[in-house]
Structure 1
């Protein structure tokens, strides 16, 4: 129940949804057709998605979200027009909710995930409907979905590189946190350092994946992306700090953190961006605390929208970026892969060619796009038991709601669907949060009733205010966001048909209790036994990635972009596997009725993996040693 700091970009989805909802709501008010507000809200709420993606990727992703919303709405409205049985409609709504859960988890669409899709679709299953009305209602959803796309893309006109700058700033801040943790503990608090290291590795890994989505079709775009890559490479160097033991079999012992940075800075001219804070003189000793302050300063520059700070790269770091650029360009004459400021460093150690900086990309062989989603949904996937849990839980919750005489069984379906998280422990926590949030939300709705009775315009204003409040609070804690979500849901119900307030509040409270209770019971009955199997599979991938990294590190270092490119790929693969392993362990640890976790194997794999990752980062952060 503890409140956290709000997510740094919470205002972006909040304002986007506010605009996307306000325009059609006011238009319907002017036309006197507020009964259609459910359909326009379906498309407008797509504006809540994809705010963490670069604009090019966002432009591709949002149409899929809109298509999924419209398809779900179409299924719901068609079923509502053809099926008279409420019990059967509950089954259909539950199956759609299960599909939403597994598809959103497989695509990793991010917040708000499946909740918004399920809320709209489940509501639509129980709206009186004639088959001839469905095309018009779907057209309204599609039109407002297009409006949501325009609203979400509009900030690109002002800050076209805002999303990637923010994700790199997060990586810089996480790296600074790791350096400060290691400096404060002297490496003697393994739990705190391990958490900081995992957070830094995850943030850096997420930043690289975001930059992979940034196109670099022009020289200006390529130079801007290369500048972010340089900052990210510098943040990544924190993962090769002093808190790691030497890796067995490495040909040469890496230099300590301070000496390594001093050598790196001696390789090239130090360049400092406006307001970034001065770096040490070349060859001077660099303390981790000073480096942490510098990283935080650069993160502040990125968030402010000022010009990118200029950072120093070692020869090996320059080789890494230049090597992938050469591969993408397919020619070999002079160095590239970084901006002109650091190109001279590369000239000393490699001869590769292209006319402008070219982007770094992930290692070859990784499935992407639709193939990656299908892989995550293949038979044996740990997502399938979660989907079964959602389907069974929502059906039983809806039927139980009908059994106690509640007039809105879809609320119970939505309540059950919303509590299902990655494991039973997280689902239990979400159930407590939702129950508390809905209870407080009903009290808030009761307090707002005098304003609701002022008329439709006041209801629209209250619904928009609740939507904004939900986005402002939900990143601090789910229950706080639910306080505003509950009156908003009740207001949407009021637009379609007026129901006595006492009946509406009583039905909502009963449906919340029934949905949460039945949903938790299904968490116990439908276990995810495949969570432990996922750990075994990921342990195998970590072992393979670590073995490959060890072989690279055992070889004598050689100057050149080919080695830098191969080490960069090995680092990306190993970092991704380590992040996935920690995620799999946390998911499995929260499931009941599981076989014991292989704690020793997990600890050994993470230790060896982090040591190898640190070795790879050092190899890319320090000048190449003579063979």
Structure 2
């Protein structure tokens, strides 16, 4: 029995050691710069940029420029759940907006109470774990829970009394309302957009059956199921003709998968590639060629996401994820505070951002990307802060960087981190006078955060997590 436990412990240490070695490998750093294909992002990016612009311009015109950044953070709820059908998007964006308001108020309360930085780090680390839990179990995709902690950390640094708490909370509420309205704006003029994107993904997954390897078939089944779900969630009691066409395309894709014939795959490949391209366009005048379907379309409405999320609250994988993020955030923040760094909560955010990876390989990739992006973004922000541009030029720069972030984030997180870091530092500069030395602090805090995040991930890696070894 003793020898069995020793062997297990030795195996675990070797697995963790191999994981740490992977973080220093050339493969890991090369993967961090890989550009991926992505769904349409320009329209989403412009909407997020518009929401940010409205809040910052409104705050400046009303004489509340010092808290306009918190309204802009509230408006970032528009960046979440970007490809969800509109009824579900409305509900999820409300949840994120409420979360941003709550975390802003919570952080401001910590600052107003005058709590020590050690205690603030501890409380915000627990809050980091909770934000990860809620966004994960309810499957709310987007920038991730780090945005909530950034809002809380910024509010903690700003608020000195109860009036400040009320001011930043109201700003976050206004921003969240603007973000929610802007996120739902396309429902008025392009109601089929989420369903079209989901069907395009299904067609792409089926087209990849010839070259995608052993994972291609499960991916195709999952994409088809997702397309049906999105269509169902966005469908009213009476389906229009375009919805029937989309369902017919899904039926056609499913028939190719079930045929199991390579000849069938090749015969439909060109058709699916052409239809996929048409579906991804956002213009209303694009007509999808009619595809004959057998029988009447069947749309089963999925279960409410809140109900399914509640059942996942106590899942083992989720619980482990919450514990890892809480621990890594705490250690990173306390280490940065002990080292005398100016903004230790940024180290907390660096750790939790890295640990949002789906597996260890993805965690290392995100850690490298965040570090590289923070270095580049901090340098750009330092130059702009030295120029002392004033409020309105900073507003234009923030909106530009936020918009570009949304355009590239699904393609490469490192490049997105360059722009989001610049935007975040400029937002911070709206409420407080910052010098170029802030760039050094940002990079140092981020380095501490991602290193501790990767170490915690390696020490707690699951036995079956071997994606990094396979590569």
Pick the TM interval, shorter chain. 0.7 to 0.9
> Matched residues in 2 for 1:517 and 1:288: separation?
45
Larger Rg: 1
The equivalent residue for 2:453 is 519
Task: Write the mapping of 1:56-75 to structure 2, written as runs, cut at 5 A.
Answer: 56-75=87-106
TM superposition shift of 1:419? 0.4
TM superposition shift of 1:122? 2.8
Aligned partners of 2:67 and 2:167 also within 8 Å: no
* Partner SS, residue 82 of structure 2: coil
* Residue 258 of structure 2 corresponds to residue 240 of structure 1: yes
Aligned partners of 2:80 and 2:143 also within 8 Å: yes
> Matched residues in 2 for 1:238 and 1:392: separation?
47
> Matched residues in 2 for 1:67 and 1:391: separation?
21
The equivalent residue for 1:34 is 65
The equivalent residue for 1:112 is 143
> Matched residues in 2 for 1:174 and 1:591: separation?
24
TM superposition shift of 1:237? 1.5
Name which of 466, 475, 481 aligns with 2:401. 466
Task: Write the mapping of 1:472-483 to structure 2, written as runs, cut at 5 A.
Answer: 472-483=407-418
| 1:12–1:118 CA distance, 2 compared to 1 (3 A) | farther
> Matched residues in 2 for 1:63 and 1:116: separation?
15
* Residue 359 of structure 2 corresponds to residue 423 of structure 1: yes
TM superposition shift of 1:591? 8.8
* Partner SS, residue 126 of structure 1: helix
* Partner SS, residue 35 of structure 1: coil
TM superposition shift of 1:80? 2.0
> Matched residues in 2 for 1:63 and 1:442: separation?
31
| 1:23–1:164 CA distance, 2 compared to 1 (3 A) | same
Aligned partners of 2:110 and 2:120 also within 8 Å: yes
| 1:40–1:515 CA distance, 2 compared to 1 (3 A) | same
Give the aligned length: 435
Q: Which runs of 5+ in 2 are unaligned?
A: 1-31
* Residue 309 of structure 2 corresponds to residue 373 of structure 1: yes
* Residue 332 of structure 2 corresponds to residue 401 of structure 1: no
Q: RCO (CA 8 Å, sep 6+): is it higher in 1 or 2?
A: 2
TM-score (norm 1): 0.65
Name which of 282, 291, 296 aligns with 1:311. 291
Aligned partners of 2:76 and 2:179 also within 8 Å: yes
> Matched residues in 1 for 2:293 and 2:76: separation?
43
Aligned partners of 1:20 and 1:147 also within 8 Å: yes
> Matched residues in 2 for 1:232 and 1:291: separation?
13
Task: Write the mapping of 1:139-538 to structure 2, written as runs, cut at 5 A.
Answer: 139-178=170-209, 180-181=210-211, 192-218=212-238, 221-242=239-260, 288-304=265-281, 305=284, 306-314=286-294, 318=295, 337-338=296-297, 359-361=298-300, 368-378=304-314, 380-420=315-355, 421-449=357-385, 452-502=387-437, 504-525=438-459, 527=460, 529=462
Aligned partners of 1:89 and 1:126 also within 8 Å: no
1:451-508, CA deviations, whole angstroms, 9 ceiling, x for partnerless residues? x423211111111111122222222211111111111111112111113212x12211
TM superposition shift of 1:590? 4.5
1:144-180, CA deviations, whole angstroms, 9 ceiling, x for partnerless residues? 21111111111122211111112112211221222x4
| 1:132–1:33 CA distance, 2 compared to 1 (3 A) | closer
Aligned partners of 1:13 and 1:49 also within 8 Å: no
> Matched residues in 2 for 1:407 and 1:384: separation?
32
| 1:79–1:289 CA distance, 2 compared to 1 (3 A) | same
Q: Which runs of 5+ in 1 are unaligned?
A: 182-191, 244-256, 259-286, 319-336, 339-358, 533-587, 598-627
Name which of 106, 117, 130 aligns with 1:86. 117
> Matched residues in 1 for 2:354 and 2:289: separation?
43
Aligned partners of 1:394 and 1:417 also within 8 Å: yes
Aligned partners of 1:175 and 1:235 also within 8 Å: yes
> Matched residues in 2 for 1:446 and 1:79: separation?
28
TM-score (norm 2): 0.86
TM superposition shift of 1:6? 4.4
The equivalent residue for 2:157 is 126
> Matched residues in 2 for 1:441 and 1:307: separation?
42
TM superposition shift of 1:528? 5.3
Name which of 36, 40, 43 aligns with 1:9. 40
Name which of 589, 594, 602 aligns with 2:466. 589
Aligned partners of 2:36 and 2:412 also within 8 Å: no
